[in-house]
Structure 1
Amino acid sequence: MSQYLKKATGSAAGNLAAQESVTAIVKGVISDIRRNGDSAVSQYSEKFDKWSPASFKLSPEQIAEIIASVPEQTIKDIKEVQKNVRAFAEAQRKSITDFEIEIRPGVHLGQKNLPINAVGAYIPGGRYPLLASAHMTIVTAKVAGVPNVIACTPPIAGQIPQATVAAMYYAGADEIFILGGVQAVAAMAVGTETIRKVDFIAGPGNAFVADAKRQLFGEVGIDLFAGPTEILIVADEHADPFTIATDLISQAEHGPDTPAVLITTSESVGRQSIELVNNLLEFSALSTAALAKTSWDAFGEVVVVPSLTEAWKLADEYASEHVEIFTQDPREALRKMTNYGALFLGEKTCVSYGDKVIGTNHVLPTRKAARYTGGLWVGKYLRTVTYQEVTNDIASGELGRLCGRAARAENFEGHARSGDLRASKYLADKHAWIDGKEEARL
């Protein structure tokens, strides 16, 4: 039987009134931008970000000047991380193949994977300059073959986030805009005088950005509906409580509502981890301690289970975005678990590697969405389309007969007659509607 040493007190769903307020504000902004284009974008950028330049789009000269001001080591690190992301994305792309098969003589069926023509990448700012989101959204799109990538990121405290711009540029963005929030997402989705309309929007963001993507979904495609980041650790009695505590805090600092969960087979490991988290938050001089403590106090959980079998089962119920496995045989999780955004196997890796440097994509499902979807990957930027060709007369006629019978079983007479026509042309079948008075004539 499971024993909770610490139970979350906060509500993952948040305050209903606050959610309704966000939805109403987002709806109004989108509607205004539909009507008034760039003037509305400028108005909201000034209102929300205190940012209203003559042009939100950076010129090549501005980009070059910004990149020149970024420390050389930061540029080197950006390029190294993007090399990792690109290598993994390229391997993913190679795994997605076009094919054509001949299912019977003269009947050819094929599949092609075509990149989306125009993508909008949203790179969050706000509390932190999230360079990594540029790697994840833009590099992956370019590996998929997307010809046009528009990238938007907000100013931070009224300043251009220089390192983020460098990351966007080296990732391959075709156009870079210093523009954030709902106004950026809406402008890319509906198009304005200066911002081209895209077909797909990718990238994480705050509650307003997430709701804008939700409201615009269908008009454009989106990567996924993202909520606050999540971490879950599965640990046995051999796990290091200090490593567990450090990694729980590493994600709790994202925001005030981050679920940080430990499932362990050892009560000792669980209690030591709680003590260490509290001590690290209070005494380690962590710059983000107050934020992480808010999240940990409200959304942190530690649960002791009787066996790893129960741990895998409970972890699947959480369906967490990030799952670290600190057990003697971490690869057992690959065999036993099915619901997660990404697995991190063993103490030599961690969620922070996935977030920042290792190469797998960090845009992942939250709020149990891992039950039905994976995260952002090359395939999200591709449209798998099919084609058909029948080159054999007999095959076409036989398919026509089958179509006639199948369609009439569903009372689709028009469909049936498309089949009848081929059966008549290629097998000389007789049909009254073709041979008799119902024959259509020009």
Structure 2
Amino acid sequence: MTVSTAIARLNAADPDFARHLDHLLSWESVSDDAVNQRVLDIIKAVRERGDAALVEFTQRFDGVDAQSINDLILGRERLELALTRITPAQREALEKAANRVRVYHERQKQDSWQYTEADGTVLGQKVTPLDRAGLYVPGGKASYPSSVLMNAIPAKVAGVAEVVMVVPTPRGEINELVLAAACIAGVDRVFTVGGAQAVAALAYGTESVPQVDKIVGPGNIYVATAKRHVFGQVGIDMIAGPSEILVVCDGQTDPDWIAMDLFSQAEHDEDAQAILVSPDAAFLDRVAASIDKLLPTMERAEIIEKSVNGRGALIQVRDMQQAIEVANRIAPEHLELSVADPQAWLPHIRHAGAIFMGRHTSEALGDYCAGPNHVLPTSGTARFSSPLGVYDFQKRSSIIFCSEQGASELGHTASILARGESLTAHARSAEYRILTQDKGN
């Protein structure tokens, strides 16, 4: 197998740098009309025919010889069996990762709060977990037990009573690591269903699949399209684009390390994006040489080659300050600050899904076991989005209790504003509560 790279080289000093960068970053995750219509048809069928449609689509799309919905349900005992079928080292790694993820997310829990004003009015916020969450997990060869931990554990920490997992088993392939991760993470029910039909079942419910309040987890274009269509019926985590990494380096890290960090995202798929930014032109040359040297040794070399050649870049900047400016412009999913003093630059980072500090902190550690969530905003959405967390599985209700005196005083303000909006019923509703001695005020 022959592989070679021609990774793009950009210079921030070039007058057309912004245009080239915009072109490099552009990504359209929009489904074509055929995919969109197919997904709509699948959703309609699941809503109308429930379990029967799930069985039919699983037979057709996954090649599974399921005779009834019972053939697509895995009980808790099957998840526990998976724990015995993986190696002791795998079980230990899963449990260690799960514990670190759980400890980190415990710190994200929000509590209800209230305060009382002088007149006895009470205001506050009530934090309540979702009743039920749905977790989509890719199946077959694209199996990610780490995603099970990252999605299910925050839900359980939040207090979600029931986590329902759907995972396709194409041609009957069951990934024991995924099931073991589900057992460790506390998943309550598993259905071996995938694709748009699984999303529809979670969103609307069937005779056997319970309706959930929110759907999280990665999937292919059919899954992403279905999540778009059911949003509003249920909550969703995000519509994720391809994985991406941006490394900002001062030129002092081992170039082989940096090349492999870039590969760690490029190997996900051909559309993944790996970018290095540095003020040291000679260092960029050394990393390019490392890329060429290491690429033939990679198991997924062809995928990495297409990713690096198609969407990767080595960007030269004036200095570290400009490197940070470029990083904020890109708003990457993963940002590595591979520099001598990352803490000094941290206050200047405004947009990033996760920030990996220092030369020894590879992004891969965050993917598996560091503790913070690896479900992160992609395609520049870190400008306004955050990593998946406990807060995604909690909702907040406002609390308002007015004392007699408080209602009287607030009634004057509400009345004026309501009449200004010509909403007379609003005004009179508030005015009814104004105490007699206050009416002339």
TM-score w.r.t. length of structure 2: 0.91
Q: Which residue among 193, 199, 204 is the counterpart of 1:179?
A: 193
Q: What are the within-5 Å matches in structure 2 for residues 5-404 of structure 1?
A: 12-14=26-28, 19-53=32-66, 54=68, 55-93=71-109, 96-282=110-296, 284=297, 286-391=298-403, 393-404=404-415
Distance in structure 2 (CA, Å) of the matches to 1:270 and 1:384: 48
1:210·1:227 contact (CA, 8 Å) conserved in 2?
Answer: no
1:3·1:303 contact (CA, 8 Å) conserved in 2?
Answer: no
Distance in structure 2 (CA, Å) of the matches to 1:217 and 1:41: 20
1:8·1:301 contact (CA, 8 Å) conserved in 2?
Answer: no
Between 215-224 and 103-112, report the one with greater CA deviation.
103-112
1:392-420: per-residue Cα shift (whole Å, max 9, x none)?
x2222111122111211111111000111
- Counterpart of 1:439 in structure 2 is none
State the SS of the aligned residue for 1:331.
Answer: helix
- C-alpha change, 1:218 and 1:333, in structure 2 (3 Å) is farther
2:29·2:241 contact (CA, 8 Å) conserved in 1?
Answer: no
1:289-346: per-residue Cα shift (whole Å, max 9, x none)?
1111111111111110001111111111111100001111112332111111000011
State the SS of the aligned residue for 2:73.
Answer: coil
Distance in structure 2 (CA, Å) of the matches to 1:80 and 1:74: 10
1:161-220: per-residue Cα shift (whole Å, max 9, x none)?
111001011100110122222121111111111100001011112222111111111110
1:225-249: per-residue Cα shift (whole Å, max 9, x none)?
2111111100112222111101000
Between 239-248 and 49-58, report the one with greater CA deviation.
49-58
- Counterpart of 1:411 in structure 2 is 422
1:224·1:375 contact (CA, 8 Å) conserved in 2?
Answer: no
- C-alpha change, 1:85 and 1:11, in structure 2 (3 Å) is closer
Matched AA of 1:164:
V
Give 1:430 deviation, angstroms. 7.6
- Counterpart of 2:8 in structure 1 is none
- C-alpha change, 1:156 and 1:328, in structure 2 (3 Å) is farther
Distance in structure 2 (CA, Å) of the matches to 1:99 and 1:248: 44
1:23-56: per-residue Cα shift (whole Å, max 9, x none)?
2222221121111111111222222221243421
Give 1:428 deviation, angstroms. 6.4
Matched AA of 1:73:
A
Give 1:14 deviation, angstroms. 4.8
Distance in structure 1 (CA, Å) of the matches to 2:214 and 2:257: 39
State the SS of the aligned residue for 1:422.
Answer: coil
Distance in structure 2 (CA, Å) of the matches to 1:324 and 1:404: 54
Between 25-34 and 341-350, report the one with greater CA deviation.
25-34
- C-alpha change, 1:121 and 1:15, in structure 2 (3 Å) is closer
Between 31-40 and 161-170, report the one with greater CA deviation.
31-40
1:186·1:212 contact (CA, 8 Å) conserved in 2?
Answer: yes
Aligned pair count reads 424
Identity %: 33
Give 1:157 deviation, angstroms. 5.0
Matched AA of 2:352:
Y
- C-alpha change, 1:265 and 1:86, in structure 2 (3 Å) is same
**RMSD over equivalenced CA pairs, Å:** 2.2
TM-score w.r.t. length of structure 1: 0.91
- C-alpha change, 1:340 and 1:208, in structure 2 (3 Å) is same
Runs of 4+ in structure 1 off by over 6 angstroms are: 4-11
Give 1:9 deviation, angstroms. 8.0
Matched AA of 1:97:
D
- C-alpha change, 1:127 and 1:60, in structure 2 (3 Å) is closer
Matched AA of 1:2:
A
- Counterpart of 2:6 in structure 1 is none
Distance in structure 2 (CA, Å) of the matches to 1:331 and 1:22: 45
Matched AA of 2:268:
H
Which runs of 5 or more structure 1 residues have no equivalent in the other structure?
432-442
- C-alpha change, 1:20 and 1:339, in structure 2 (3 Å) is farther
Give 1:61 deviation, angstroms. 3.5
1:7·1:301 contact (CA, 8 Å) conserved in 2?
Answer: no
1:322·1:341 contact (CA, 8 Å) conserved in 2?
Answer: yes
2:25·2:379 contact (CA, 8 Å) conserved in 1?
Answer: no
State the SS of the aligned residue for 2:147.
Answer: helix
1:366-402: per-residue Cα shift (whole Å, max 9, x none)?
11110111020000100011111122x2222111122
State the SS of the aligned residue for 1:232.
Answer: strand
Give 1:3 deviation, angstroms. 5.6
Distance in structure 2 (CA, Å) of the matches to 1:260 and 1:355: 16
Distance in structure 2 (CA, Å) of the matches to 1:85 and 1:236: 31
2:247·2:277 contact (CA, 8 Å) conserved in 1?
Answer: yes
- C-alpha change, 1:176 and 1:427, in structure 2 (3 Å) is farther
1:396·1:422 contact (CA, 8 Å) conserved in 2?
Answer: yes
